[in-house]
Structure 1
Amino acid sequence: MTESSLPFFRPPAEPYGAFCQDNHVAVAATAPGPLSGLSFAIKDVFDVAGSRTGFGHPRWLATHGPAAETAAAVSTLLDAGADLVGRTISDELCYSIAGENLHYGTPVNPQAPDRIPGGSSSGSAVAVAGGIVDFAIGTDCGGSVRVPAGYCGLYGIRPTHGRIPLDGVARFAPRFDTVGWFARDPEVLRRVGEVLFGAGRRGGFTRLVIADDAFARCDAGIQPVLAGALSRLGALFTERASADLSPEGLDQWLDTFRILQAGEIWQSLGGWIEAERPEFGVGVGQRFAAAAETAPADVDAARARAEEIAEGLAARISEGDLVVLPTTPGPAPLRTTSSSEVETDYRRRAMEILCVAGIGRLPQVTLPVGTVDGAPVGLSILARRGKDMDLLDIAARAGFGVPVPPERR
């Protein structure tokens, strides 16, 4: 199927700037199934046969032809009855958690228009938060689903690493890359999980574990909202505990994550960047420049250290543990905040929390638990590898409600 023969010829008309205009793609469900009646969007990193993937950059779009095959995750959703209605904006080559794109602009956060939407799966989050689609898929390497879910007041999941195939997804940092998704309704989030994960054993949780070192990195302004959410979650458990996730410090873990991620990103994209010399925005360009200078020996050492950390997390988090941590240190920064400030201080504080799931290959679900100064606040739940559906079950049981799209208020 080619772009011109698709059943929906134009991106959805919407006021948020969430959808790609130059490489729009839409496909009707290929069969009835458990997702019949639901619409979805895909981040601009997923291949659809006959259309071009842009990876958030016009130069990538110009230098890559139509895909021969559709990404495995997209095919699974179409086969389950969902209708694909469009492709969404991504940060440039996914190397940002801000949601800003020098070339295509910054999608408007429907729940807090004066604040950034978060990235790099910015358009997917905005399309869901704005009520344009029922759910949307993105990718999460360092936080690219969890951050925009938190900023836009959505439910979002980063699955266990390797749980969902990455066939037909733009390669970034394979040690950390995952396919995730967003929904306003936790039941929809769970229904999508049942399709993408398939049948599997569910064991539930017996103990709530509060990650003290992650909460210590939060802004004071969101602490009351998080405390209320913790009380609600705690009511589901008879056993509670508190512990630090990182014995040596989350800042040390972030350094390991950053070096390994940079090395893998440059291995994936360095050849194309050197050949094409594309223009990048503030922060993104600096990170690629730093990635180019990362020594292979440092990457090897970071890889070994990451495996040690992952083994330690697997030993400390038991089968029955539900770990609770903030999604980000605070609500989304204002759109008027300088890009340099967002990309330096705030990014590092956020990544110290976000790197845990990536290094540990662990599943993490973001829950919309309230607002501060009109901006959404997210709380996350994390568990052992393979406990993805258990997390989605808890998300549905916790009763945090369904965010209402702006036009329906």
Structure 2
Amino acid sequence: MTNKEVVTGAARLIELGALAPEGDFALAPTGKGVLDGTTFAIKDLFDVAGRVTGCGNPDWRRTHEPARQHAAVVARLLEAGARAIGKTITDELAFSLNGQNFHYGTPRNSAVPERIPGGSSAGSAAAVAGHACDFALGTDTGGSVRIPAALNGIFGIRPSHDAVDETGCMTLAESNDTVGWFARDAEMLRRVGEVLLPVDIGGSTTFGEVYLPRDAWALARDAVAAALQPARDRAVAAIGPAIGITLATEAGGLATWRQTFGFLQMREIWAQHGAWVEETRPHFGPEIAERFALSKETAAEPMGEAAQFRETITRRLDDMLSTGGVLIIPTAADIAPLKSLSAADSAAFRASTLCLTCIAGLARLPQVTLPVGRVDGAPIGLSLIARKGRDRALLELAARLAPLICR
């Protein structure tokens, strides 16, 4: 990789509106490996030695010191031969799915520029979709890799919880946070996994049956479900028999799962950041300010049975997928909303999206989203979910299916 090519990558981040404050730098590889000759961008939640990790908020940047060393994943990628081209914009403290940063702007969705890129890993998704780099680091707590990947028409992975080393990455909600990444093709997604993921644990080494949850598919807008169906059918044909199920048999269905996820997440967010918010009184964008206020209120409520409910769901899905099963669901219920979306539309998009993303989130499962088509010119994604700890096998499956279903 020449200096000219690195400069071009950083310049492209600027063109895409994806460059984080003070993110214009390059990091040379420190070793050689499976990522030789590749370039990547870094979400501004990961530490880079000598630089302040800004986390999408000016007051966070003002009140934190420069990092002493690279985040663990950044160091590993450099050791494997990749070159970093800079840092990318994130939603404030990663607490949004829109990708619209009140302070720093909205990275471009190259597929549909009039629509949002999705967040919170908006800049990283924009960087990959806009060909600024080969892959990019993101984080996924409630869908912050999966959703922007789907909305930008690229590949993305949320690994099993705790599968990837999170040292040197800002914590949002500890029991839900994961380190994920984006790529324009499934093979690159898999190559990054070779570097960052541990060896798979437990379960069958092959996938032989597909679970199609009716309640998850019912969330998708009719046009989205219809456009996804041919890819879903080809995936089923390649893997094994399809089994129709209802995931959420509880009263309220997947909306109850989403509410449980949100309740636990907000309690953890306030436990992690409440003291800083109270002391600093940071200037947040309106939606982020409302979410932190709600997190404070939620943290004051009794825990109740939410944690036990989560463990019940975890056991249920683990048992279902233990013998080589894979869940196939829409990644998002609809296409990317317009940038001009109202507060009500934003809330509706977030609610329907979280009903889908909370499935893997609650059970701490790995999920890969593949770009498989378009509706009204906007990309849509199809997701594969496997048993916890089967991340490498899931990436291999995605690479096998991509030529068949990504049209």
- Tell me the TM-score range normalised by the shorter chain: over 0.9
Deviates more, 1:388-397 or 1:165-174: 388-397
1:403 deviates by: 8.7
Q: Which residue of 1 aligns with 2:334?
A: 330
Question: Which residue of structure 1 aligns with residue 268 of structure 2?
Answer: 264
- Per the TM alignment, residue 283 of structure 1 is displaced from its structure 2 partner at its CA by 1.9
Query: For residue 74 of structure 2, what is the amino acid of its counterpart?
Result: V
Instruction: Evaluate the alpha carbon distance shift between residue 73 and residue 307 of structure 1 in structure 2; reply closer, same or farther with a 3 A threshold.
Output: same
Q: Return the letter of the residue paired with 1:224.
A: A
Which segments of 5 or more consecutive residues in structure 1 lack a partner in the other structure? 1-6, 405-409
Are 2:289 and 1:290 equivalent residues in the alignment?
no
- The SS at the match of 1:150 is helix
For the 8 Å contact 1:53–1:61, the answer to whether it is kept is yes
For structure 2, the 5+ residue unaligned runs are: 1-5
- Pairwise CA distance, 1:391: 1.2
**Residue 384 of structure 2 aligns to a residue in which SS?**
strand
1:353 matched to 2:375:
no
The answer on whether the counterparts of 2:212 and 2:243 sit within 8 Å (CA) in structure 1 is yes
- Report whether the alignment pairs 1:254 with 2:253: no
**Aligned match of 1:3:** none
Counterpart check, 1:307 vs 2:311: yes
Question: Given residue 91 of structure 1, which amino acid in structure 2 is its aligned partner?
Answer: D
In structure 1, C-alpha distance between the alignment counterparts of 2:303 and 2:41, rounded to whole Å: 35
Deviations 1:305-329 (A, max 9, x none): 2122212221222331011001010
Contact between 1:23 and 1:52, CA under 8 Å: does it hold in 2?
A: no
How many residues are aligned here?
Answer: 397
**Matching residue of 1:35:** 35
2:372 to 369, 386, 395: 369
What's the % identity of the aligned pairs?
45
> Which residue matches 1:278?
282
- CA distance in structure 2 between the partners assigned to 1:393 and 1:10 by the alignment: 28
2:3 aligned partner: none
Q: Deviations over 1:281-318 (max 9, x none)?
A: 23211111000111455346322321222122212223
After superposition, where does 1:27-176 map in structure 2 within 5 Å?
A: 27-176=27-176
Question: Which deviates the most, 300-309 or 359-368?
Answer: 300-309
Q: Residue 260 of structure 1 aligns to a residue in which SS?
A: helix
Deviation at 1:111, TM superposition (A): 0.8
Cα distance in 2 between the residues matched to 1:191 and 1:103: 34
2:114 and 2:7 map into 1 onto residues whose CA distance is 31
- Would you say 1:12 and 2:11 are equivalent positions? yes
Query: 1:294 aligns to what SS in structure 2?
Result: helix
1:110 deviates by 0.6
* CA distance, structure 2, for counterparts of residue 199 and residue 383 of structure 1: 15
Give the alignment partner of residue 389 of structure 2, picking from 383, 386, 390: 386
Q: Distance in 2 between matches of 1:237 and 1:24?
A: 44
1:315, 1:161 → 2: CA distance? 17
Contact 2:231-2:372 within 8 A present in 1 as well: yes
1:397 to 391, 397, 400: 400
Listed as ranges, the matches of 1:181-200 within 5 Å are 181-200=181-200
Secondary structure at 1:116 match in 2 = coil
Identify if the C-alpha distance between structure 1 residues 163 and 272 changes in structure 2 by more than 3 Å, giving closer, same or farther: same
Task: Tell me the TM-score normalized by structure 1.
Answer: 0.93
Please give the root-mean-square deviation of Cα atoms over the aligned residues, in Å.
1.9
Contact 1:12 1:85 in 2 (8 A): no
What is the CA deviation profile of residues 220-260 of structure 1, one whole-angstrom value per residue up to 9, with x for unaligned ones? 11122111111110220332111122221111111111110
Could you tell me how far apart the structure 2 residues matched to 1:32 and 1:148 are? 30
Equivalent residue number for residue 221 of structure 1: 223
Whole-angstrom CA distance in 1 between matches of 2:306 and 2:207: 32
Displacement of 1:65 in angstroms is 1.1
Kindly indicate whether the alpha-carbon contact (under 8 Å) linking 1:128 and 1:134 is maintained by their aligned counterparts in 2.
yes
| Equivalent position SS for 2:98 | coil
In structure 1, distance between residues paired with 2:332 and 2:302: 28
